[in-house]
């Protein structure tokens, strides 16, 4: 019998509710609330860049960029137009239209590209590699962002309370320790405070900058692109070096796209254009005016821009803002890791849901621990935000280049772009980002190797796991044998049937689950109902019920041996018991959902034994075995009840 797909009509797409009631008071409140929430999650990283971006430019290469009008206006022009082109036009204007079922980010974009090029194996392979690189660079960013953000805020003590300057590292360490400790409790309770805090933060940015701009309005001339062009032409070497720091103004740009699925396009765009972009621009202009009229202020223009009476409160506010920025990056790492696990790029990890209502609020203990170790090690090794900024740019620019590459690949099949549009985008976005990347490559020896090392380690883990998983599946397939032949054998044996339901998670319906073979071989029985469940992950964040289930009676309607395919989105939790009940309610599985309260689950799992095959080099084989041994328990991963789950099977070889 062929597959039968059933299920209710797909619910409205994520974010679709924003359009409901458009123009009404209720609709406006919904958009405003989403925009406020977005401020607390999406803009934390890019919103705290004024703490260190301009300062870093003037500290580069022993002060190669001078505090004179041409240099200052040139740098401000570079910053303003970088934000405009990369953030306002590329991400807000174009990339947010390239959503994967409402979701954004490099993983979703890579999955969208693979769907658009389905059937073209070579291009699909290239897209997978590009996606892996993008994910790997994000992890480098996830480790550096908390360290540099919190350090740059606490370093305001150098200006406000010089007597306690020696306490900067210990204070930052305590803040970071507390930040990672509270991850296990989830961010739902404190998340409601993030938006108002960031509104206050951006208001302070604008107010501090505006006071200086009013005093020296000539600084507004720095917004002209002619100053950026003149600076590059007059000082090509210095401007090239300066690009390595100018890129700091767009750190966090990828978050605007990655968090689109949580808040929708409209709230993010409104928050950016009505508050964040103006506040950042005014603050950078204010810092530039201060440097022009007090060159010594370039040592820390952000805090020296604040009146003396307000500096200590702003240090506290800046610290809160950087904690929020760090939280957003950590949460993003959790979400991205879950997507990578769902797509088979990382081993199964323990994932804990921290909210009963919000599916995106998750906690991954292993990732939290690794991030904490990395953040603390980097902070202690570099010791200051100035030194750490040399390591920051490469991961950011690399991620930007990856997004642009994927954008150019999807533009034609998705929007039917003419070749000239693709070329223009490649020059405008790719040219600028490659210039940023080249400028940051000069910092490799001074710390830029750190994110590259992190990315290389992640790429190694992902490719090793993917290859080892393929080898394990090949060996298992050989030992499992044909499921059709197995069913014919057990029908001839006329085995005793015991009451109840036995569920066997298994990748496909072509081969026999090892646990099912072992159960028949050793116990010589079968349950009344045997359901083989195959889990697959679609290249979309969420799968509608109408497309989630496919039932097959495996050729016989009377033997009680059935197969059910369940498709999850890469942002869904693969909870098998809940999915089985949903399949019954949807009519996809001809059983009563109440019967699964006492169902038994059998996991096919055996030890992995290494061999001398040439399929993998020995050290990568050992790495894969280590990853497999530390992978999460399948029962916990699939939400199986511990007291009704049995592990059976035989060893597999690679």
pLDDT of residue 8: 31
CA distances from 200 to 195, 204, 251, 281 (A): 9, 6, 20, 16
Question: End of a domain among 420, 447, 474?
Answer: 447
**Separation between Cα atoms, residue 142 and residue 371, nearest integer Å:** 7
In this prediction, residue 324 has a pLDDT band, given cuts at 50, 70 and 90, of: confident
Examine residue 53 and state whether it is found in any structural domain, yes or no: yes
pLDDT of residue 593: 85
Examine residue 472 and state whether it is found in any structural domain, yes or no: yes
In this prediction, residue 249 has a pLDDT band, given cuts at 50, 70 and 90, of: very high
Structural element, H or E, at residue 473: helix 449-480
In this prediction, residue 378 has a pLDDT band, given cuts at 50, 70 and 90, of: very high
Whole-prediction pTM: 0.77
**Separation between Cα atoms, residue 105 and residue 91, nearest integer Å:** 10
More confident residue, 439 or 380: 380
In this prediction, residue 31 has a pLDDT band, given cuts at 50, 70 and 90, of: low
- Percentage of the chain exceeding pLDDT 70: 89
pLDDT of residue 533: 94
Averaged pLDDT for residues 396-411:
90
What is the domain range of residue 575? 466-653
pLDDT of residue 356: 53
Q: Are residues 169 and 262 in the same domain?
A: yes
pLDDT of residue 3: 38
CA atoms within a 13 Å half-sphere pointing along the CA-CB vector of 318: 27
In this prediction, residue 191 has a pLDDT band, given cuts at 50, 70 and 90, of: low
Examine residue 25 and state whether it is found in any structural domain, yes or no: no
**Separation between Cα atoms, residue 386 and residue 395, nearest integer Å:** 17
CA atoms within a 13 Å half-sphere pointing along the CA-CB vector of 556: 14
178 class by beta-carbon count within 10 Å (0-12 exposed, 13-18 middle, 19+ buried): exposed
Residue 187: is its pLDDT beyond 80?
no
Show the CA angle centred on residue 155, arms to residues 444 and 65, nearest 5°: 50
Averaged pLDDT for residues 350-372:
76
Q: Are residues 289 and 327 in the same domain?
A: yes
Question: End of a domain among 414, 447, 480?
Answer: 447
Residue 175: is its pLDDT beyond 90?
yes
pLDDT of residue 192: 60
115 closest CA partner among 570, 609, 549? 570
Using left for φ > 0, alpha for ψ between -120 and 50, and beta otherwise, residue 631 falls in beta
- Do residues 95 and 391 touch, judged by C-beta distance below 8 A? no
* pLDDT, tens digit, 9 for 90 and up, residues 598-643: 899 998 876 677 776 667 888 888 888 888 888 888 888 888 998 8
117 class by beta-carbon count within 10 Å (0-12 exposed, 13-18 middle, 19+ buried): middle
First-residue to last-residue Cα distance in the chain? 35
Examine residue 266 and state whether it is found in any structural domain, yes or no: yes
Examine residue 513 and state whether it is found in any structural domain, yes or no: yes
The runs of H, that is alpha helices, within 251-384 are 253-258, 260-263, 265-271, 277-293, 301-304, 311-342, 365-382
Phi, psi of 430 (to 5 degrees): -65, -40
Averaged pLDDT for residues 331-345:
81
Q: Are residues 138 and 260 in the same domain?
A: yes
Q: If you average pLDDT over every residue of the chain, what do you get?
A: 84
- Percentage of the chain exceeding pLDDT 90: 33
247 closest CA partner among 4, 451, 384, 485? 451
Q: Are residues 638 and 489 in the same domain?
A: yes
Tokens of 368: 């939290």
Q: What does 103-162 look like in DSSP terms, one character per residue?
A: B-SHHHHHHHHHHHTTT-HHHHHHHHHHHHHHHHHHHHHHHHHHHHHHHHHHTTHHHH-G
Q: Are residues 253 and 119 in the same domain?
A: yes
CA distances from 449 to 242, 441, 455 (A): 19, 9, 10
pLDDT of residue 23: 45
Q: Are residues 501 and 555 in the same domain?
A: yes
Residue 301: is its pLDDT beyond 90?
yes
Counting the structural domains of the chain, the total is 2
80 Cβ contact list (under 8 Å, min separation 6): 222, 223, 281, 284
Q: Are residues 188 and 321 in the same domain?
A: yes
Strand partners, 518: none
Where residue 263 sits, what CATH number does that domain have? Answer: 1.20.1740.10
pLDDT of residue 10: 31
Residue 89: is its pLDDT beyond 90?
yes
* pLDDT, tens digit, 9 for 90 and up, residues 584-607: 988 888 888 888 888 999 988 766
Residue 360: is its pLDDT beyond 60?
no
Phi, psi of 565 (to 5 degrees): -95, 135
The two beta strands, 561-569 and 549-552, are antiparallel
**Cα 534 off chain centre by:** 27
Residue 336: is its pLDDT beyond 70?
yes
Strand partners, 527: 498
Residue 129: is its pLDDT beyond 80?
yes
Averaged pLDDT for residues 223-234:
94
Q: Which range among 13-27, 281-295, 455-469, 558-572 has the greatest average pLDDT?
A: 281-295
Q: Which range among 53-57, 277-281, 319-323 has the greatest average pLDDT?
A: 277-281
Residue 1: is its pLDDT beyond 50?
no
Phi, psi of 383 (to 5 degrees): 80, -15
Tokens of 203: 């208001």
How much of the chain is in helix, strand and coil states, percent to nearest 5?
70, 10, 20
pLDDT of residue 457: 93
Q: Are residues 421 and 293 in the same domain?
A: yes
More confident residue, 147 or 539: 147
* pLDDT, tens digit, 9 for 90 and up, residues 137-167: 888 888 988 998 899 889 988 888 888 888 9
How many helices (DSSP H) and strands (DSSP E) are in the chain?
A: 28, 10
pLDDT of residue 29: 62
pLDDT of residue 361: 65
In this prediction, residue 357 has a pLDDT band, given cuts at 50, 70 and 90, of: low
More confident residue, 637 or 413: 413
In this prediction, residue 522 has a pLDDT band, given cuts at 50, 70 and 90, of: confident
Q: Which of these ranges, 113-127, 143-157, 307-321, 486-500, has the smallest mean pLDDT? A: 113-127
Q: Are residues 162 and 133 in the same domain?
A: yes
More confident residue, 584 or 540: 584
The number of residues making up the chain comes to 654
Tokens of 409: 């690949």
Examine residue 499 and state whether it is found in any structural domain, yes or no: yes
Q: Are residues 223 and 270 in the same domain?
A: yes
Examine residue 16 and state whether it is found in any structural domain, yes or no: no
**Separation between Cα atoms, residue 453 and residue 9, nearest integer Å:** 47
pLDDT of residue 281: 97
Q: Are residues 608 and 505 in the same domain?
A: yes
Q: Are residues 634 and 553 in the same domain?
A: yes
Averaged pLDDT for residues 474-502:
86
Residue 280: is its pLDDT beyond 70?
yes
Question: End of a domain among 387, 417, 447?
Answer: 447
Residue 12: is its pLDDT beyond 50?
no
**Separation between Cα atoms, residue 175 and residue 159, nearest integer Å:** 20
* pLDDT, tens digit, 9 for 90 and up, residues 546-557: 889 999 988 888
Examine residue 26 and state whether it is found in any structural domain, yes or no: no
Residue 64: is its pLDDT beyond 80?
yes
Tokens of 471: 């080898």
């Amino acid at each position: 019998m062929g597959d039968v797909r059933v299920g209710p009509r797909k619910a409205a797409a994520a974010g679709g509710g924003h359009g409901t009631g458009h123009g009404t008071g209720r609709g406006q409140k919904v958009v405003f609330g989403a925009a406020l929430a977005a401020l607390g999650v999406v803009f934390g990283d890019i919103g705290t860049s004024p703490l260190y971006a301009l300062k870093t430019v003037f500290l580069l290469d022993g002060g190669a960029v001078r505090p004179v009008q041409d240099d200052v206006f040139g740098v401000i022009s570079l910053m303003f137009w970088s934000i405009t082109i990369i953030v306002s036009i590329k991400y807000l204007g174009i990339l947010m239209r390239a959503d994967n079922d409402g979701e954004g980010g490099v993983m979703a974009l890579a999955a969208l590209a693979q769907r658009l090029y389905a059937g073209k194996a070579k291009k699909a392979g290239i897209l997978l590699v590009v996606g892996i690189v993008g994910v790997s660079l994000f992890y480098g960013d996830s480790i550096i962002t908390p360290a540099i953000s919190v350090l740059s805020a606490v370093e305001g003590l150098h200006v406000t309370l010089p007597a306690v300057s020696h306490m900067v590292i210990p204070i930052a360490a305590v803040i970071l320790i507390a930040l990672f400790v509270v991850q296990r409790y989830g961010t739902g309770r404190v998340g409601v405070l993030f938006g108002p805090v960031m509104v206050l933060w951006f208001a302070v940015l604008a107010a501090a900058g505006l006071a200086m701009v009013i005093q020296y309005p000539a600084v507004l001339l720095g917004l002209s692109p002619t100053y950026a062009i003149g600076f590059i032409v007059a000082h090509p070497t210095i401007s090239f070096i300066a690009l390595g720091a100018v890129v700091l103004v767009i750190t966090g740009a990828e978050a605007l796209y990655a968090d689109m699925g949580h808040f929708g396009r409209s709230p993010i765009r409104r928050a950016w254009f009505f508050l964040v972009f103006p506040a950042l621009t005014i603050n950078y202009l204010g810092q530039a005016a201060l440097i022009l009229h007090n060159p010594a202020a370039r040592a820390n223009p952000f805090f020296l821009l604040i009146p003396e009476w307000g500096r200590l409160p702003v240090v506290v506010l800046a610290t809160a803002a950087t904690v929020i920025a760090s939280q957003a990056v950590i949460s993003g790492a959790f979400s991205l890791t879950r997507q990578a696990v769902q797509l088979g790029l990382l081993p199964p990890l323990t994932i804990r849901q921290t909210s009963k209502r919000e599916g995106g609020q998750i906690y991954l203990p292993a990732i939290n621990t690794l991030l904490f170790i990395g953040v603390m090690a980097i902070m202690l090794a570099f010791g200051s935000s100035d030194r750490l900024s040399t390591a920051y740019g490469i991961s950011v620019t690399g991620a930007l280049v990856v997004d642009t590459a994927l954008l150019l690949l999807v533009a034609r099949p998705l929007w039917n772009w003419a070749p000239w549009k693709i070329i223009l985008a490649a020059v405008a976005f790719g040219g600028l980002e490659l210039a940023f990347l080249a400028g940051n490559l000069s910092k490799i020896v001074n710390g830029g190797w750190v994110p590259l090392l992190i990315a290389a380690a992640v790429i190694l883990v992902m490719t090793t796991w993917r290859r080892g998983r393929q080898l394990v599946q090949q060996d298992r397939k050989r030992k499992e044998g044909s499921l059709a032949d197995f069913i014919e054998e057990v029908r001839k044996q006329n085995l005793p049937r015991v009451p109840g339901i036995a569920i066997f998670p298994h990748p496909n319906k072509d081969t026999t689950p090892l646990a099912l073979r072992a159960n028949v071989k050793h116990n010589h029985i079968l349950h009344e109902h045997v359901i083989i469940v195959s889990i697959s992950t679609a290249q979309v964040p969420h799968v509608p019920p109408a497309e989630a289930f496919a039932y097959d009676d495996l050729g016989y309607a009377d033997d009680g041996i059935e197969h059910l395919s369940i498709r999850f989105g890469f942002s869904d939790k693969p909870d098998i018991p809940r999915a089985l009940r949903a399949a019954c309610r949807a009519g996809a599985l001809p059983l009563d959902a109440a019967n699964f309260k006492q169902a038994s689950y059998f996991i096919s799992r055996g030890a992995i034994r290494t061999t001398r095959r040439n399929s993998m080099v020995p050290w990568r084989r050992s790495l894969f075995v280590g990853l497999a041994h530390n992978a999460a328990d399948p029962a916990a991963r699939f939400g199986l009840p511990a007291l009704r789950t049995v592990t059976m099977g035989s060893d597999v070889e690679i």
